[in-house]
Amino acid sequence: MPPKTLLTAVLCALALATAQAQWDLKDSHSTASLRGVSNPGGRAVWASGTRGTVLRSVDDGNTWQTCPVPPNAERLDFRGLQAFDKDTAIVMSSGTGDLSRIYKTTDGCQTWKLLFSNPEKEGFWDAIYFLDPSNGILFGDPATGFAGDFALRLRVTHDGGQTWAPITDPESHAPGKNLMPVAREGFFAASNSNATSADGWLWMGTGRGRIFRRRLYSRPANKAAAFQAISCAGAMEIVSHSCGIPWIDWQITDTTPLTRPDPGEASGVFSIHFRNAKQGIAVGGDYTKPNATTYNAAWSTDGGKTWQAPATPPHGFRSAIAYDAKRKLWITVGPNGTDISTDGGKNWHPLQTSASDPANSDHGWNALALPFVVGERGRIARLRPIVP
Q: Is residue 77 part of a domain?
A: yes
Q: Is residue 163 part of a domain?
A: yes
Q: Is residue 342 part of a domain?
A: yes
Q: Is residue 388 part of a domain?
A: no
Q: Is residue 186 part of a domain?
A: yes
- pLDDT at position 142, please? 76
Cα four-point dihedral sign 354, 331, 94, 27: positive
**Number of structural domains in the chain:** 1
Q: Compute φ and ψ for 176, nearest 5 degrees.
A: 105, -10
Among candidate residues 336, 340, 331, 376, the one with its CA nearest the CA of residue 359: 336
Distance of CA 53 to the CA centre of its chain: 19
Q: Is residue 231 part of a domain?
A: yes
* Antiparallel, parallel or unpaired: β 349-350 and 365-369: unpaired
Among candidate residues 227, 231, 120, the one with its CA nearest the CA of residue 169: 231
- pLDDT at position 11, please? 43
Neighbours of 215 (CB within 10 A): 16
Q: Is residue 135 part of a domain?
A: yes
Distance from C-alpha of 158 to C-alpha of 233, rounded to nearest angstrom: 10
Residue range of the domain that includes 350: 3-383
Q: Is residue 26 part of a domain?
A: yes
Give the pLDDT confidence of 251-296 residue by residue, as tens digits: 888 888 988 877 677 899 999 999 999 999 999 999 999 999 999 9
Q: What is the pLDDT along the chain (388 residues), one digit of tens a residue?
A: 454 444 444 444 444 444 445 899 999 999 999 999 999 999 999 999 999 999 999 999 999 999 999 999 999 999 999 999 999 999 999 999 999 999 999 999 999 999 999 998 888 999 999 988 988 999 998 766 544 455 678 888 889 999 998 775 443 334 444 445 555 678 999 999 999 999 988 999 988 888 988 877 655 555 555 555 454 433 322 222 233 333 346 788 888 898 887 767 789 999 999 999 999 999 999 999 999 999 999 999 999 999 999 999 999 999 999 999 988 999 999 999 999 999 999 999 998 888 888 888 889 999 999 999 999 999 999 998 654 3
Residue type, 37: V
What is the C-alpha R_g of the chain?
20
Give the pLDDT confidence of 59-93 residue by residue, as tens digits: 999 999 999 999 999 999 999 999 999 999 999 99
Domain harbouring 274, CATH code: 2.130.10.10
Distance from C-alpha of 231 to C-alpha of 280, rounded to nearest angstrom: 25
In sequence order, what are the residues at sequence separation of 6 or more whose Cβ sits closer than 8 angstroms to the Cβ of residue 204? 139, 187, 194, 195, 196, 211, 212, 272
